[in-house]
Amino acid sequence: MQKLKQQDNAAFRYLYMHYRGALFNIILQVIPQNEAAADVLQEVFVQIWKNIDKYNEEKGRLFTWMLKLTGNMAIHQTRSKNFKVHSKNEDITNYVSTIDQKIEAPTGINHIGLRQQVHKLKPEYIAVLELSYFQGFKQEEIAEALNIPLGTVKTRLRSAIIELRKEFM
Amino acid sequence: MNIKEYISSGIIELYVMGLCSPEEEQELEQLRVQYPELQTAILQYEKDMEEKMLQQGILPSAAADEAILHRLESLSAPVVTMHNNITRVRKINWIRAIAASVAILLGISAYFNYTLYQKTKNNKP
């Protein structure tokens, strides 16, 4: 860990070789095109390199930190590419209306992954996990878009993730 | 607070995935210091998750690997990159200088050729 914090070249090479597959899979769940996903993977590792001093070991494992960063960057990429023109509120309405289609075909490619597992759950669980994890919306925004109370979003998210854990692990 | 109920509520999973609201996150971070069993449960989930995701990894292409590793190397050695750039700039300047000299020489030679040609033409009876 210390070598990583010193931005040691060999340590970063190891980090990349060890974790690239797991993180690439996460990106592919959001961006199913191999080349575009590889670009994001590069940007993810550049950000890991630049921000490694901000990683706090007491707050969790390095992988968890990288996982969150990867998810955020993948979502950021899809938003900046596809939804530049629209305001955030319009975005979420679009997402909600396309959730039904996404249940049929979550990604273009058949990845064995998180998103596929999510899409095996109940529709109301799919909706909250899709919007929060794969689209990066806040709980308040989801409540508004689905027209349900914030408390319901919270309960559904918790039940959904427990279900997912049972399926996934 | 019933910590067992809290642990099994799904909040740990949401926290690790980064899906908590800021308030929920703050609450959990305070509680994990107070309750060792919560701390253990979080660490265990993180570990399980990492293991599972490493098993399910999908590798990028060899070309992507190479490009990314190259990029990371260039980040850790900015001095070398700068030096390379300078040499490249110098090389370009040399090439330009040679090209310019050749052009000037060609120009001069063309001029003399032309004037000589005119002279010989005019001198002809």
Please check whether residues B66 and B100 belong to one and the same domain.
Answer: yes
What is the arithmetic mean of pLDDT over B13-32? 94
pLDDT at A168: 76
Instruction: Among A63, A81, A99, give the residue marking a domain's end.
Output: A81
Assess whether pLDDT exceeds 70 at residue A89.
no
Contact B39, B32 (CB under 8 A): yes
Please check whether residues B27 and B50 belong to one and the same domain.
Answer: yes
Band of residue A78 on the pLDDT scale cut at 50, 70, 90: confident
Please check whether residues B66 and B54 belong to one and the same domain.
Answer: no
Instruction: Name the domain count of chain B.
Output: 2
CA–CA gap between residue B105 and residue B100 (Å, rounded): 9
Task: Enumerate the residues of chain B whose CB falls inside 8 A of the CB of residue A160.
Answer: 10
Please check whether residues B91 and B123 belong to one and the same domain.
Answer: yes
Q: Is A26 on the interface with B (CB under 8 A)?
A: yes
Contact A13, B68 (CB under 8 A): no
Please check whether residues B66 and B124 belong to one and the same domain.
Answer: yes
CA dist A116 to A30, A46, A105, Å? 11, 28, 9
The minimal CB distance from A71 to the residues B18, B67, B77 is found for B18
Please check whether residues B7 and B27 belong to one and the same domain.
Answer: yes
Please check whether residues B15 and B30 belong to one and the same domain.
Answer: yes
pTM for the structure as a whole: 0.73
The dihedral region occupied by B18, where left means phi > 0, alpha psi between -120 and 50, and beta the remainder, is left
Please check whether residues B123 and B93 belong to one and the same domain.
Answer: yes
| Coil, helix or strand at residue B4 | helix
Please check whether residues A92 and A158 belong to one and the same domain.
Answer: yes
What is the arithmetic mean of pLDDT over B86-110? 67
Band of residue A151 on the pLDDT scale cut at 50, 70, 90: very high
CA atoms within 13 A on the CB side of B28: 26
Q: Above 0.90 for ipTM, yes or no? A: no
Which CATH number covers residue A152?
A: 1.10.10.10
**Nearest residue of B to residue A16, measured between CA atoms:** B69
Instruction: Among A65, A81, A97, give the residue marking a domain's end.
Output: A81
pLDDT tens per residue, range A105-135: 444 444 557 888 899 999 999 999 999 999 9
Q: Which of B43, B20, B112 is CA-nearest to residue A60?
A: B43
**Record: contact A133-B17, CB cut-off 8 A:** yes
Please check whether residues A123 and A138 belong to one and the same domain.
Answer: yes
DSSP state of A109: S
The minimal CB distance from A159 to the residues B10, B58, B69 is found for B10
Instruction: Among A61, A81, A101, give the residue marking a domain's end.
Output: A81
**Record: contact A9-B14, CB cut-off 8 A:** no
Which amino acid is located at A38 in the chain?
A
CA angle, B22 as apex, A73 and B33 as ends, to 5°? 110
| Coil, helix or strand at residue A33 | coil
pLDDT tens per residue, range A1-55: 888 888 888 899 999 999 999 999 999 999 999 999 999 999 999 999 999 999 9
pLDDT at A20: 96
Q: Which two tokens stand for residue B96?
A: 């330009």
Give the orientation angle of helix A9-30 with respect to helix B36-55, to 10 degrees: 80
pLDDT at B109: 77
What is the distance in angstroms between the Cα of A119 and the nearest Cα belonging to chain B? Answer: 17
Q: Which residues form the domain of A59? A: 2-81
Instruction: Among B9, B36, B58, give the residue marking a domain's end.
Output: B58
Please check whether residues A121 and A158 belong to one and the same domain.
Answer: yes
CA–CA gap between residue A97 and residue A81 (Å, rounded): 19
Task: Enumerate the residues of chain B whose CB falls inside 8 A of the CB of residue A16.
Answer: 68-69, 72
Q: Which of B57, B48, B28, B32 is CA-nearest to residue A64?
A: B48
Task: Enumerate the residues of chain B whose CB falls inside 8 A of the CB of residue A12.
Answer: 72, 76
Please check whether residues B32 and B54 belong to one and the same domain.
Answer: yes
Contacts of A110 (CB under 8 A, 6+ apart): A116
Please check whether residues B22 and B51 belong to one and the same domain.
Answer: yes
Q: Which of A151, A132, A133 is CA-nearest to residue A142?
A: A132
Instruction: Name the domain count of chain A.
Output: 2
Please check whether residues A95 and A159 belong to one and the same domain.
Answer: yes
Instruction: Among B10, B40, B58, give the residue marking a domain's end.
Output: B58
| Coil, helix or strand at residue A45 | helix
What is the arithmetic mean of pLDDT over B46-66? 94
CA–CA gap between residue A160 and residue A118 (Å, rounded): 8
Q: CB burial class (10 A; 0-12, 13-18, 19+) of residue B3?
A: middle
Which CATH number covers residue A50?
A: 1.10.1740.10
The minimal CB distance from A22 to the residues B10, B53, B67 is found for B53
Q: Which residues form the domain of B108? A: 61-125
Please check whether residues A72 and A133 belong to one and the same domain.
Answer: no
Please check whether residues B80 and B95 belong to one and the same domain.
Answer: yes
Task: Enumerate the residues of chain B whose CB falls inside 8 A of the CB of residue A20.
Answer: 57, 59-60, 65, 68
